[in-house]
Amino acid sequence: MTTASASAGTSSPASSPETGGLDPAAALATIRTQRQAVVVRSDLILIAWGLAWVVGYVSLALGAGQAVLGGCLMAAVIVTAVVVTLGARGIRGTTSRTGSVYGATWLAAMGLVTVLLGRAGTVLSDIGTEQAHELLRLLSSGIPCLVVGTIYMASAMLWEETALAWTGAWILAVTALATIVGTPAAWWVMAVLGGGGLLAVGLVQLAMRKAVR
């Protein structure tokens, strides 16, 4: 009798005492509670990417090399991974694994971008024409932004952050516009509309966060 009582007292909230199995509604509630416990500071992520774009693309517009932009983007990737990892810290199970995979996705995707652009740079530099150099510059800007915009839109579903969906769509739209415009005007489009837009949304979210405290 005592053993049965103790067992009942420690049953999982996701199980049903009547059926002895899993209660789907309780399981979904548990998952939702864990997800809500994850505090993903999207404002910090947006500010990091906004600064990376402003500094990186203004540097390009002023004649600096692609290395400055690459360094800025990699710094923003690291900030994103750290923010998401810290947000999921202390949460166990599926939500914790999701946060870890999310952070790893950023690093893996941008790592592949680096490899692809490195190879493209070698091939296009060997061609040596002005059109080839123009294409390389646009690819060096467009491919990373394609990755960032796509992951942001996926993040909106994952973390239930509507602002990330709009931000991802904005990144993709601005990148498309910059690609159509071409260099060197494209760098100012990316810096002002892209970086400026990210910074504006991030700062607004930061102000709203402080206001509710």
Express each pLDDT in 119-162 by its tens digit: 999 999 899 899 999 999 999 889 989 998 999 898 888 777 78
Report pLDDT digits (tens) over 174-197.
999 999 999 999 999 999 999 999
Range of the domain at 198: 37-211
* Rounded Cα distance, 154 and 6, in Å: 43
Residue 14 falls inside a structural domain:
no
Number of domains forming the structure of the chain: 1
Decide which of 100 and 204 is more confident: 204
Domain presence at residue 2: no
Give the integer Cα–Cα distance in Å for 168 and 149. 4
* Phi, psi torsion values for 15, nearest 5 degrees: -105, 155
pLDDT confidence of residue 23: 60
Residue 76 belongs to some domain of the structure: yes
191 within domain boundaries: yes
Instruction: Please report whether residue 152 resides in a domain.
Output: yes
pLDDT exceeds 60 at position 13 = no
pLDDT band at 47 (very low <50, low <70, confident <90, very high): very high
Q: Report the range of poorest mean pLDDT among 72-81, 112-121, 136-145.
A: 72-81
- Considering only the C-alpha atoms of the chain, give the largest distance between any 2 of them, rounded to a whole number of Å: 85
* Residue 124 is assigned to a structural domain of this protein: yes
Domain assignment present for 81: yes
Any domain includes 21: no
Instruction: Give the 3-state secondary structure of 46-84.
Output: HHHHHHHHHHHHHHHHCCCCHHHHHHHHHHHHHHHHHHH
Banded pLDDT at 8 (limits 50, 70, 90): very low
Q: Which of the two residues, 17 and 106, has the higher pLDDT score?
A: 106
CA-to-CA dists, residue 111 to 60, 71, 143, 150, 207, angstroms: 21, 12, 12, 16, 33
Residues 142 and 175 sit within 8 Å (Cβ to Cβ): yes
